[in-house]
Each structure stands twice: as C-alpha cells, then as structure tokens.
Amino acid sequence: MKKDLISKKYQEKIKSFSYFNKRYYNDNVSEITDSEYDNLKKTILDLEKKYSFLNSKDSPAKIVGYKPSKNFKKASHRVPMLSLANAFSESDLLNFEKKILNFLSHNLDSDIYYSAEPKIDGISASLLYKDGKLTQGLSRGDGKEGEDITTNLSTIKDIPKFIQSKDFPKEIDIRGEVFIKNSDFNNLKEKFANPRNAASGSLRQKNPLDTKKIPLKFIAYTFGFEKGLKINNQFDYLKKLSEWGFKTNPLNKLITGIKNLLKNYDEVEKNRANLDFDIDGIVYKINDFALQKRLGYVGNAPRWAIAHKFSSDKAISKILDIDIQIGRTGALTPVAKIKPINIGGVLVSNATLHNEDEINRKDIRIGDTVTIERAGDVIPHILSVDVKKRLKNIPKFIFPNKCPSCGSKTIKEFNSITKKKDAVRRCSSEGYFCEKISIEKLKHFVSKDAFNIDGFGKKIVENFWSLGLIKYPQDIFRLDYKKIEKLEGWGNLSVKNLKYSIDDKKKISFERFIFSLGIRHIGLENAKLLSKYFGSFSKFKNLSKNKKYAELLNVDGIGETQVNSLKTFFSNKMNIGVLNELEKILIISNAAIEKKDGLLKNKTFLVTGKLNGISRAEVKSLIEENSGTTVSTVSKKLNFLIVGDKPTKRKVENANELEIKIIDQNQFLKMLNKTS
C-alpha cells in the first residue's frame, strides 16, 4: 500500500475515533458497540506500530476520554486519570505478565499478586477530600482536566460528605465509578439507551436537583493524589475504603497466577446475569504499591494494570418468559424475555428463539440459564442452554396449537420444494380476522416503502387500533379527527399535521400500493414486477374474477410461491372488500414506463442517513425511473453513496476505503437536472 493511501486510511480512522469519542463521552450516545469501538482503537494502534510515520495528537495512544464540556467549570487533575490497556485472551494476559517480570528483572516463574476487580460500566469520577471533608468532585474529562460536578456528585448517597476516621489521609483524591442499577434503570429506559448513558446524562445535569431525582450509585476503587495514606497495597486499600464508609465491589479478589485469573474471569462472567449492575470485564492491578511505582506508565496507561474485557458479543442471562409474537403473514415467532444484560454496550432484554423447531432442538425452557449472542446488527439470539443450572421440574415449553390472538388453528405448511413441513408455525386465519395480524398489516401499510405516512408510526397504529379508530387500511383515510384532538398528547396543530400527511399520501404509485397490501412473498421487487405486468390497478384487481394466475408464471421473477400467495389473497372476500374501499379513496397511478437510456444508466446508488424533504423510497423511485440501480450494501459494485443527516458511519468508512464517490442530496438532484 502506498504511503499516501496508508496516511489517508489512518486519518479517516482517527476522524472516526474522535467522532465516536465525542458522542460517547460528551453527548452520552453510543453510536457503535463496545467491540466496534475496541476494534477501531486497535486498528489505529496497529497501524501506528507498523508504520512509524503515522502520528496524530488524537491517537488513542495519547488521549483519554474527551475534552470537558463547556457547560461546567474545568479543573485539573493533580494526578492524571488514565485509561487501561485491554486484554481479550489468555495469551494477552501471559504477555502482560511477561513484560512486567522482564521490566522488574524477576524470574519468569515468580508469583505476582493481582487485585482482580470487576469493571463497572459507568462514569468515572474523582472525589477530593481535605481534612476528611469532600471539597471537590470532577469527571474524567480528557484525563488531565475534568468538569467540576461537585454539586451533582454531592447528591449521591453512596458518597460520604465527611469522614471522621483517624487514619483517613489529610488529603486524598478517591476515584470510582458512578452507575445506575439495572433494576432502577427499568424506570428510565424510555429516555436512555442503557444504564451507562443514563448515569452520564444524569450526572451532567445543569440543575443538581434533577440529578438528585436519579438513583445514582458510587463504587470506589482507586486514588490519585494522596497525602498521608499509610497503606502498602491495593487490596488493603479496598478494605480500608469500606471502613471509611465507601461502597466497594463485593466481587473484588486477591489472586496470583494467570490460570487462577482466568478461572475467576469465567466464574464472574457466568454470574453476570445475577448482578444488578453492568460489568464489561475485570481489571487486574499489581497489588503491591511499591511495584506499581517501579513499573510506572507507558503512553497514557499504567504498566501495572490491564482490563480483561468480556466477550463483546456474548453474555449469560436467564429466561424469564417466552412470548409468542405474530407477524403480518401470520408467522408465530417465539421471543425469550431475558433478565436484562449489557452486551457490547447495548442493554438486551429480548432474544429471538426463531421457531418451534429451534426451541425443541436446544430444549429451551422458561427459567433456563442461557448464553446470548449479539453480533453487529444481528438480532440477539440464544446460543446454548446451561442444563447443569436448570432447576428440577421445569417443564418443557409447549408451542401453541392455537393462535394466541384469535384462537385459530396454527399450522405448518408443506413446502413443495424441500418436501418438508416449514419450520415456522402460522395462524391459519386469513384477511383481517386475527387482531395481531391486522395490526401488523396496518403497520406495514403505513411503513416507509409503502404509504410512508409521516407521523403515523407503529405506536400510533397500536393506539388507534386499541381505541377503535382503525381496523382496516381504508379507516386511516377516514379518521375522526375531532375524536383524536381530544386524546391525551394531541392538539389542534398535531392533528392538522396528521391530516395533511394522510391526505398527501392519497396519491400513490402502483408498485408501492401492491407492496402496501402486505401479501405474503410479495416484497417491493416483486411488487415492481407485478405493477409492470398489469400496468394498472383495475387489471390487478380483476385477477380475482378472471383468475388468470397461470399466466403470471411467465413473468420473470414470479414463481409458484408468489402465485399461490396471490391466489390466497384474492380468494378472501375481506381482502377484496379492502381493495374496493381503497379504490374509492386513492389515486393509484399506472405503472411508469421504464426508461432504458435514462440519466443514471449503468450507475448504482445507496442512501444512508435522513434526507431533507424527500424520502428514501422516493429517491429509489427516481433512480429507477432514470435507469439507475439501488443496492443495499457498500461494495465495489457501488458507484455513489448518497449521504444525508446522521449517516451510518460504517457505510461512510467503507465507501472511503473502496474510494466510492460520496455525494449529498443536492449533488444527486443535480445529476437529474433537479434542485432541492
């Protein structure tokens, strides 16, 4: 790789790292998972190690946290609050200990004692005491300078305001972690993504009275500056903290030997599900303070400590219940309600069980202790069951033979291709007879690739259904706005906006209308094929009368599966009734004649982020009308990445690496000789 390309790649990684640091430390937002953040950090450090010409003041090797917020007065840490190096495997720990022994000129078989302390996933804070009195409290900030949040920290009951013990140092900077218990977070989860974000946001309120309302906790674990501390090692210091009135982690241990560290690591990880606070690893500190002093620091981290991180995509939890969810096509999907657990910075409380066969194959039962996996954007799922921890007499889970919503018989359809029954069990009702199916159909009807009604989201659908305002799609266009205006949370302006959004969508393209109906196996691409074949809505609806289904097999891309779904749909009187009513209300445009030599011929596009005044569906439509193609992922086949507000950073990074042209909304419209 050429030097300029290496530098370009490095600077892009640094830019991303700085952005995510700001979002995490300053804005209390986790845009990427812990594992993605750690990987980004490691990539930068590996590049710096491999290429000596790479250097940046914003490198993770040089910075800690993020610069203090302008909302608070700044103050310097007398002893910097540094970060820790990470370990992910046994070899990392062996290498860590080997470096320590070599530095100290000890034999490689010498015993090193470590204080092993579970790493709470919270917000670091520094408490300065003078003559036993709390005089100042600081955030970590950038490690050298923090925010003065003394008044906010003083609202936390776990933090002693005055210590009268005779052996308490004349002056000491006690450090620890501010966090929120998972049980307390349940009342805050509508406002915050996870307990860590909740703690950070609460601790940095401008008004201390707002902070006081939040059940923040504090656990102490180290110190910075000290004057008069008469203790020689970390483990004794932790004991003394408890005597002085500070809370410490009950899982702290004194351990020697890497094998014993790993054994403790496994035990703590298995016990994570039973804790009422989030931990993301275990910190190992050389116990002896004299050895810590000899070892000193390298870069922005101590040589004498390391954080052994838990798997960023796996965790152990307990199944509290199994819920059966019903989709718009009648599919019954089992979902495990688990004891909330933090996986890679995301609080997970649900895990998919896929289907009945999966439950039987893994013998998953309510009350089981299980390993949950969440990799990237994949829905969390259960990897395995710890049968040894299963209580006696826990019954097997019996999948329902009747739909939990409408009581119809549940069936497994025979697949003519595989010659087997499908793994998915479905509600046998058709049309809008089943309540859950109807609600999901309505959600699909208003979704972005269908009618895309602004301000008519999933929660609105559920609320209006429960109030009897809607039951069928046509009801959306015949809402009683006077009734809605009287509902809690609605006013004259919001109702007017809703009415405008609905009226604005009474005109729709033929292909999006077909897609909006939620016919099984008829996705957006198949809807496009059908719209081109029929040309108009009247010809499509007439299929219920002429029953020329066999002719559809001549359409490239339409097979027996899709034809059978259309037969089922049109054989249901309720569906025909819905089509008749919608025909009275809507203007359904005929299929557009495809341009073969449009302005975007042979060009591929991908949209990321929110666009201004134009939906993604409309952009896709414009691209296709002008002979272009849309794709769903960044690859070498992509020509243009259209970037809106708050784009997916990973897509932007990948596009830069592949040297794909990145354009904004205005640049795209100029390609069509349009302006926004």
Residues annotated as catalytic (active site), given as ranges: 119
Residues 94, 99, 103, CA angle at the centre, nearest 5°?
A: 150
Contacts 24+ apart (CB under 8 A), 474-483: 474/578, 474/581, 474/582, 474/584, 474/585, 476/442, 476/445, 476/446, 476/502, 477/502, 477/506, 477/585, 477/586, 478/585
Distance of alpha carbon 294 from alpha carbon 112, whole angstroms: 14
Distance of alpha carbon 204 from alpha carbon 214, whole angstroms: 12
Strand 604-608 with 640-643, pairing: parallel
Task: Take residue 250 and report the two structure tokens written for it.
Answer: 């009950």
Distance of alpha carbon 21 from alpha carbon 60, whole angstroms: 10
User: Which of 408, 414, 443, 399 lies closest to 427 in space, CA to CA?
Assistant: 408
**Distances from the Cα of 611 to the Cαs of 577, 599, 620, 628, 663, in angstroms?**
36, 21, 12, 19, 12
Helix, strand, coil proportions of the chain in percent (round to 5)? 35, 25, 40
Extended beta strands in 374-524, E state:
381-385, 410-411, 414-415, 420-421, 426-427, 507-509
DSSP alpha helix (H) spans, 225-257: 234-243
User: Which of 570, 627, 572, 574 lies closest to 604 in space, CA to CA?
Assistant: 627
Residues 57, 63, 66, CA angle at the centre, nearest 5°?
A: 110
Q: What is the DSSP string of 367-400?
A: T-EEEEE--TTSPPEEEEE-GGGPPTTPPPPPPP
Q: CB neighbours of 194 closer than 8 A, spacing ≥ 6? A: 30, 185, 278, 342, 345, 346, 347
Q: CB neighbours of 136 closer than 8 A, spacing ≥ 6? A: 75, 127, 128, 148, 150
Q: For residue 592, with 0-12 CB atoms within 10 Å meaning exposed, 13-18 middle and 19 or more buried, which class applies?
A: middle
